A and B are shown apart, each in its own frame.
Chain A
């Protein structure tokens, strides 16, 4: 079945550091890929998405590129802020109106 693997956390960085959170997936066909973010006590919010190979999703300074050849969708940000501290989830949707399959989540902690 479909699966998503992302790096374990917590990831602790200093403010203004460069961020990479790795995500790889296994799926049949051509899934859509997503990054969601969860702040404490809240539900998940969509951060960005890509629906086909080589697409780049971007939002709030975060970027991720759909790499079919490496089955990856790594999340990057050039300069993180304290307010970026949250849990980040990589997810895929296999097709049609299927539910999302999530990775385990990566807890990001940004220190001032």
Chain B
């Protein structure tokens, strides 16, 4: 398996534009997580899905952020409109259901909003 695949790897956009980040989880995994990493706040869990259903989106910072998982092999994180403070590295991770199971991370998308 190729692991968790995220695209794009880098994104530079202007303030106010819509940004869509994409994630393909590992085949067979039932849980998918979106994290944001910044120097100031470290790694923050934004939202996670179990069996394509959003379970906890309490980490989503504002209504400008939305996430979908239309099927077991694809998820998107959308920011509309984007702001400079959204600049961060966004990671997607997937795992099998169950406590204590390993989460596998993608390589991340580095987002810069200018």
Task: Show the binding face of A for B, using Cβ within 8 Å.
Answer: 32, 34, 36, 41-46, 49, 51, 89, 93, 95-105
Residues on B facing A (Cβ under 8 Å): 4, 30-31, 33, 35, 42-43, 45, 48, 50, 55-56, 91, 93, 95, 97-100, 102-108
With A32-B99, A43-B91, A93-B99 known as contacts, the answer to whether A99 contacts B45 (CB < 8 A) is: yes
B45→A101 contact, CB < 8 A: yes
The contact of B105 among A41, A44, A49, A105, by CB within 8 Å, is A44
A96 in complex: contacting residue of B4, B42, B93, B99, CB < 8 Å: B99
Given contacts A43-B91, A43-B105, contact A97 B31 (CB under 8 A): yes
Answer whether A97 and B42 are a contact pair too, CB < 8 Å, given A43-B107, A44-B91, A45-B105. no
- Which A-chain residue is minimally distant from B6 (CB atoms)? A43
- What residue of chain B has the Cβ atom nearest to residue A103's Cβ? B42
**Inside 8 A of A41's CB, which chain B residues have their CB?**
107
Q: Are A105 and B42 in contact (CB under 8 A)?
A: yes
Is there contact, CB below 8 Å, between B43 and A95?
A: no
Instruction: State whether A93 and B107 are in contact (beta carbons under 8 Å apart), knowing that A43-B91, A99-B56, A103-B42 are contacts in the complex.
Output: no
In the docked arrangement, what's the CA distance between A32 and B107, Å? 24
